[in-house]
A and B are shown apart, each in its own frame.
Chain A
Amino acid sequence: MNRPRLSAISLRFRHVWYRNLVTYRRIWKVSFLVPLFEPAFYILAFGLGFSGLIGGVDYAGLNLEYTQFMAPALVATACMWNSFFETTYTSFVRMYYQKTFDGLLATPLCLEEIILAEIVWAASKAAAAVTVMLVVLIPIGYAIFPSALLCIPMAFIGGLAFGSIGMFFTGMIPTIDMFNLPVFLFVTPMFLFSGTFFPISGIPDWASIFSLIFPLYHLVELTRLFCIGAMESNPIFNTSYLLLFSMVFGYLGLRKMKQRIIQ
Chain B
Amino acid sequence: MSVIQARNLVKRFDALTAVDSVSFTVENGEFFGLLGPNGAGKTSAIRMIYGFSPITSGDMQVFGMNIEQDWREIRSRLGVCQQNNTLDPDLTVEQNLMIHARYFEMDKSHARQRTEEMLTFFALTNKRRAKVMELSGGLSRRLQLARTLMAEPELLILDEPTTGLDPQSRHQVWDRLVELKKRGLTLLLTTHYMDEAEVLCDRLLIMDHGRIIAEGNPPDLIAEHAAESVIEIEGPGDELRAYIKKNNVRHDDLGERVIIYTESNSKLEDDIRTRFCMEACLFRAGNLEDVFLRLTGRELRE
Contacts and interface: CB of A to CB of B under 8 A. Distances in A.
Contact of B76 (A15, A22, A98, A108): A108
Contacts of B103: 12, 15-16, 104, 107-109
B102 A18 contact: yes
A103 B84 CA distance: 9
Interface string A93-134: 000001110111111111000000000000000000000000
A102 B82 CA distance: 8
A262 to B, nearest CB: 7
Nearest to B151: A107
Given A18-B99, A110-B71, A263 B88 contact: no
Contacts of B88: 19, 23, 98, 100
A108 B86 CA distance: 16
A1 interface: yes
Contacts of A19: 88, 99, 102
Contact of B89 (A98, A106, A108): A98
A106 B62 CA distance: 14
Given A108-B75, A262-B52, A15 B82 contact: no
B82 A108 contact: no
A29 interface: no
Nearest to B79: A106
A109 B71 CA distance: 9
Interface in A14-31: 15-16, 18-19, 22-23, 26
Nearest to B150: A107
Nearest to B103: A107
A23 B131 CA distance: 12
Majority secondary structure, A binding face: loop
B121 interface: no
Given A23-B91, A106-B52, A110-B71, A98 B99 contact: no
A19 B88 CA distance: 9
Residue among A2, A102, A105 with most chain B CB within 10 A: A105
A240 to B, nearest CB: 34
A102 B71 contact: no
A102 B144 CA distance: 13
Contact-size category for A? 20 to 34
A117 B165 CA distance: 34
B31 interface: no
Given A99-B82, A107-B75, A15 B53 contact: no
A102 B90 contact: no
Given A98-B86, A262-B53, A262-B54, A106 B75 contact: yes
Contacts of B72: 108, 110
Given A1-B54, A108-B75, A103 B82 contact: yes
Contacts of A2: 54
Interface in B85-101: 85-91, 95, 99-100
B32 interface: no
Nearest to A2: B54
Interface in A53-98: 98
Given A23-B88, A23-B90, A106 B50 contact: yes
Residue among A98, A108, A110 with most chain B CB within 10 A: A108
Nearest to A97: B89
B80 to A, nearest CB: 4
Contacts of A263: 13, 53
A105 B5 CA distance: 21
Contacts of A110: 71-72
B59 interface: no
B86 A99 contact: yes
Contacts of A107: 75-76, 100, 103-104
B99 A22 contact: yes
B205 to A, nearest CB: 22
28 contacts: A1-B54, A2-B54, A12-B103, A18-B99, A19-B88, A19-B102, A22-B91, A22-B95, A26-B91, A98-B88, A100-B86, A102-B52, A102-B82, A102-B86, A103-B86, A103-B87, A105-B52, A106-B75, A106-B80, A107-B75, A107-B100, A107-B103, A107-B104, A108-B73, A108-B76, A109-B103, A110-B71, A263-B13
Given A98-B89, A103-B86, 7 more contacts: A19-B99, A22-B95, A98-B86, A99-B85, A106-B50, A108-B103, A109-B103
Interface of B: 13, 50, 52-54, 71-73, 75-76, 79-80, 82, 84-91, 95, 99-100, 102-105
Q: Which 9 A-B pairs have the closest CB atoms?
A: A103-B86, A106-B80, A107-B103, A108-B76, A99-B86, A15-B102, A108-B75, A23-B90, A108-B72
Interface of A: 1-2, 12, 15-16, 18-19, 22-23, 26, 98-100, 102-110, 262-263
